[in-house]
Chain A
Amino acid sequence: MAYSEKVIDHYNNPRNMGSFKKDDDGVGTGIVGAPECGDVMKLQIKVENDTIVDAKFKTFGCGSAIASSSLATEWLKGKTVEEAGQIKNTEIVEELNLPPVKIHCSVLAEDAIKGALNDYKKKAEMKLQQEETTASASS
């Protein structure tokens, strides 16, 4: 099966490949997939003032999975948390010209985005709660 030029480009020159420290402020991490299924994606966002200022990925999977997650990091940067939640797998399929057998790669990328956003929101809520508890304790 031939890959599209865009998939090959992301494979050869992955964008934003790497990791943030999971526990850092404003970092949300989504890990989806399983080694047994041949795909594991880790997608991370760094949020400041409700805007995604940076994103990183690491992916174990085929070229289409790598390209889907690499593309996702590009699209995430600059978006607000709410906007990021609107990214659909079908847009990834279209951008990368993924064939039908590779659609699951784009689904995985969407799931990873959602996972990272949820993790960020959860952490933000917990932080808020902690702050409230500390505030009420000190008053």
Chain B
Amino acid sequence: MKLPIYMDNHSTTPCDPRVVDAMLPYFTEKFGNSASRNHSFGWEAEEGVDTARKQIAKLINADSKEIVFTSGATESNNLALKGVAEMYREKGDHIITSSTEHRAVIDPAKSLEKKGVKVTYLSVDKTGTVNPDDVRNAITDKTILISIMLANNEIGTINPIKEIGKIAKEKGVLFHCDATQGVGKIPVNVQELGVDLMSFSAHKIYGPKGIGALYVRRRAPRVRLVPMLDGGGHERGMRSGTLPVPLIVGFGKAAELCEQEMATESVRMMALRDRLKAGIMGAMEEVYLNGHPTERLPGNLNISFAYVEGEALLMGVKEIALSSGSACTSATLEPSYVLRALGVGSDLAHSSIRFGIGRFTTEEEVDYTIDRMLKAVNHLREMSPLYEMAKEGIDLSTVEWAAH
């Protein structure tokens, strides 16, 4: 086993070597501009893009013409929210989203609010799930867009997108889904889900960084967007700019591999995740699972370790790449807003660790992680005044803290 271990696959994933192999010729031999119509260099680049577009469309059961390439899911989310808000301004000025969305949805929504758009941020239940009835109740005759994520990037909770899609259709409201964490990991079918717009990116599915896509429905309804970038009118006028052909080819190959291997891969990842969960939660007291017990991404595990601070814990297992909801890892000093939205107390939010199992995670790595986590938690609990107080029978919630 090689150290360090990578267990932060929600953050990004390594490129699959098969993806890199597919990309390489497009840097040197097939380097043409896919928009060049007059020579073979352009044609072979275009062919590469066409194939990739089909591979990506197939993964989500869309038409290849419905795939708009962007620089990544952040751009896709921005284009969806801002593009719809501007295009349908006369129809209405209300957007519905949820409080646990990724910043790449929350921040465009906030920016739209400054321009006079009204935004409803739906709260979630303690598992992090959006209630479709809340979506229905929030819809007004001014609502032009609903934007709900497929799966959460911190806690892995999978939302009832299909139910929300039905409501959106019934009410005639466009439905955008940020599916960045879900595509390639769980089956995603845009027809079944009833989404009109969907964001996702390559680097979360073992493809290259710097390329993503926005699915934009062409029929029933035909979705229109005001572009963010003006220029050569690429991507049906929705996203101008020369296509990064090598990245797109890699994205396509990555999508194809996910489509072919998802069934077996998700079973394997879920088994590793459950092994990790049992190994940690079975051996320690006062550890809490964050998120949904079953409706969650196969590779996701998010646990709060009471009485120890997340960043200190990461420091204790520094040869394992993990992520924490602790404030100390962020510049804001605020703990994870996602965990807070679930009703997790700030103390336990500071104590949370996200494990992200991926395609290349091994059983040996999982077992090593369990062992290291147990040791690090014990080391820090020894050192923790909170643990000591709890052991003395003091109810920490009754203590008056000298907050700073």
Q: Write the residues of chain A forming the contact surface with B, with a CB cutoff of 8 angstroms.
A: 3, 8, 11, 14, 17, 19, 31-42, 58-63, 65-66, 101, 104, 107-108, 111, 115
Contact partner of A31 (CB less than 8 A), chosen from B311, B331, B402, is B402
A41 and B307 alpha carbons, distance in the complex (Å): 12
Contact partner of B312 (CB less than 8 A), chosen from A17, A62, A111, is A62
Whole-angstrom distance from the CB of B289 to the nearest CB of chain A? 20
The reply on B101 being an interface residue by CB < 8 A is: no
Interface size on B, residues (CB 8 A): 30
Most central of A3, A35, A61 by chain B CB within 10 Å: A35
Most central of A33, A37, A111 by chain B CB within 10 Å: A37
Q: Does B345 lie within 8 Å of A58, measured CB to CB?
A: no
Q: Does A38 lie within 8 Å of B401, measured CB to CB?
A: no
The reply on B346 being an interface residue by CB < 8 A is: yes
Q: Does B350 lie within 8 Å of A38, measured CB to CB?
A: yes
Whole-angstrom distance from the CB of A17 to the nearest CB of chain B? 6
Interface string of B380-400 (1 = CB under 8 A from A): 001111111000000010000
- A32 contact set on B, CB distance < 8 A: 402, 404
Q: Can you list 21 contacts pairing A with B, beta carbon distance less than 8 Å?
A: A3-B315, A33-B403, A35-B346, A36-B345, A36-B350, A37-B333, A38-B335, A40-B385, A40-B401, A42-B385, A58-B388, A60-B309, A60-B383, A60-B387, A62-B312, A63-B315, A65-B312, A101-B333, A107-B404, A108-B404, A111-B402
Given A36-B346, A107-B404, residue A62 in contact with residue B315 (CB < 8 A): yes
Q: Does B402 lie within 8 Å of A33, measured CB to CB?
A: yes
Q: Does B396 lie within 8 Å of A35, measured CB to CB?
A: yes
Whole-angstrom distance from the CB of B275 to the nearest CB of chain A? 28
Whole-angstrom distance from the CB of B401 to the nearest CB of chain A? 3
Contact partner of B403 (CB less than 8 A), chosen from A36, A61, A62, A63, is A36
